[in-house]
Amino acid sequence: MNATAHPVSKLPDVGTTIFTVMSALAAEHKALNLSQGFPDFDGPDALLESVNAHMRNGSNQYPPMAGVATLRQAIATKVADLYGLDCDSETEITVTAGATEALFCAIAAVVHAGDEVIVLDPAYDSYDPVIRLQGAVPVHVPLTAPTYGIDWARIEAAISPRTRLLILNSPHNPTGMVMNESDIQALQALCRKYDLYLIGDEVYEHMVFDQAKHLSLCAYEELYARSFVISSFGKTYHVTGWKVGYCVAPPSLTTEFRRVHQYVTFTVNTPVQLGIADFLQQQPEHHRQLPAFYQAKRDLFCQLLAGSRFAIAPSQGTYFQLLGYADITSEVDSALATRWTREHGIASIPISVFYKNAADCEHRALRFCFAKDDATLRQAAEILCRL
């Protein structure tokens, strides 16, 4: 037999992502798709026009490896404005092909073979495989259901001499949990005791509700000194398909980050970077209005479901809402998400897939994306209220 035809897989247990699986199932059954996280409305007109104009005006060749200078400067202005971080766009900001690429580069930059990396379950699905691709070991620590608070004592108990990195995601996908001041204090205490790098996966930074504030790792000097802070314009501007994100990190970490980035994608498409730079400079109120915009959607969705049999704790952040279904059925979440897509025409995401051991997922809940037009949310709620 030809050995090259059957490679020894580096990720033998990895299948197709749940997002691809559920969106395909939704399309097959013409179901309302509240599974994969993307808006069913478009990005702002001025942004689309600006990208178009740059493309028409011939800005179609390679931009600088780290990203277009005007975009990096606009990002620096934004993080100074929101989080009080005074950073140098030349040495601390890199534009990436979505947050996904930034996560890969940050992990690959600092994690060596044999290192351990702590991730909190339910964990966004890209972390674990990327850690393993470095020959490193993901150490999974569960959040505490059903509120999904961070158990800092459990994190500390999981730290070993090999622990190199802790990945934090706030606002948290899929639970909507948002880190608070006491989490930050616990994290600061931990970082004084142990020499860890941090990744702040902050792609939902502008979706935090009920007057709470997003507490970015950028905002705390001693945390930022060891952090890669990652965000995504796909979420902020309703253009998930554009795949443009960025990483803010101190110069020494950015140097290592770019050593990887330049050989993963080298750079990110020019007209979109230029268009986002214009839009950030001209309409900074867009991201300031985003929490209210998404809170109204969350509130509408939850109100519409008030008479349903679901258990609902309104999401603190992100554009996802967990709905507890224990009063409706005892089925496991992945089978249920599939069945409801087929039989009732509504697609969602099971949360057990974000655990290393699905059995650790005690909360019977499905994740629904409310980044949808109000009409879509009404249609979805009508179906869900019948279940």
Contacts of 371 (CB under 8 A, 6+ apart): 37, 38, 39, 40, 41, 238, 294, 297, 319
Assess contact for 10 and 133: CB atoms under 8 A: yes
Structure-token pair, residue 28: 């097959």
* H-helix or E-strand spanning residue 32: strand 32-33
Q: Examine residue 99 and tell whether it contacts ligand PMP (CB under 6 A).
A: yes
The two three-digit tokens of residue 198, written as one number: 């941090």
**Residue of 17, 70, 240, 281 interacting with ligand PMP (CB under 6 A):** 240
| Closest by CA position to 315, among listed 222, 177, 136 | 177
Nearest to 248 by CA among 71, 72, 70: 72
Q: How far apart are CB 58 and ligand PMP at their closest, in Å? A: 27
The answer for residues whose C-beta is within 8 angstroms of residue 327's C-beta and 6 or more apart is 309, 310, 311
The least distance separating ligand PMP from the CB of residue 31, rounded to whole angstroms, comes to 20
Q: Is the distance from CB of 196 to CB of 168 less than 8 angstroms?
A: no
At which residue do the structure tokens 């990195």 appear? 165
Q: Which residue is nearest to ligand PMP (CB)?
A: 98
Cβ at position 143, least distance to ligand GLN in Å: 16
Q: Binding string to ligand PMP for residues 124 to 153, with x set by CB under 6 A, is what?
A: x-----------------------------
334: partner contacted, choices ligand GLN, ligand PMP, none (Cβ within 5-8 A by kind): none
Shortest CB 284 distance to ligand GLN, Å = 25
Q: Which does 152 bind (CB under 5 to 8 A by kind): ligand PMP, ligand GLN, none?
A: none
Is residue 156 within 8 Å of residue 137, measured between CB atoms? no
Q: CA-to-CA distance for 188 and 225, rounded, in angstroms?
A: 11
Which residues sit at the interface with ligand GLN, rule CB under 6 A?
17, 19, 36-37, 173
360: its two tokens = 């650790």
Of residues 173, 216, 236, 273, which one binds ligand PMP by CB under 6 A? 173
Give the one residue of 50, 100, 216, 348 binding ligand PMP; rule: CB under 6 A. Answer: 100
DSSP 101-148: HHHHHHHHHHPPTT-EEEEEES--TTHHHHHHHTT-EEEEEE-BTTTT
Closest distance between ligand GLN and the C-beta of residue 92, in Å?
Answer: 25
17: partner contacted, choices ligand PMP, ligand GLN, none (Cβ within 5-8 A by kind): ligand GLN
Instruction: Candidates 63, 142, 176, 245: give the one binding ligand PMP (CB under 6 A).
Output: 245
Question: What's the min distance (Å) between Cβ of 127 and ligand GLN?
Answer: 12
Residue 320 interacts with ligand PMP (CB under 6 A): yes or no: no
Residue 242 or 301: the one with the smaller Cβ distance to ligand PMP is 242
For residues 165 and 170, what is the distance between their CA atoms, to the nearest angstrom?
16
DSSP letter for 58, please. T
What residues numbered 15-74 form the site for ligand PMP, per CB under 6 A?
37
Told to check if 176 binds ligand PMP by CB under 6 A, we report no
Binding partner of 36, given ligand PMP, ligand GLN, none, CB within 5-8 angstroms per partner class? ligand GLN
What is the smallest separation between the CB atom of 365 and ligand GLN, expressed in angstroms? 15
200 binds ligand PMP (CB under 6 A): no
Q: How far is the CB of 159 from ligand GLN (least distance, A)?
A: 28
Q: How far is the CB of 236 from ligand PMP (least distance, A)?
A: 10
Rounded Cα–Cα distance for residues 60 and 267 (Å): 13
Q: Where are the beta strands (DSSP E) in 220-356?
A: 227-232, 245-248, 320-324, 346-347, 349-350
Give me the residues that bind ligand PMP (CB under 6 A), please. Answer: 37, 98-100, 124, 169, 173, 201, 203, 232, 234, 240, 243, 245
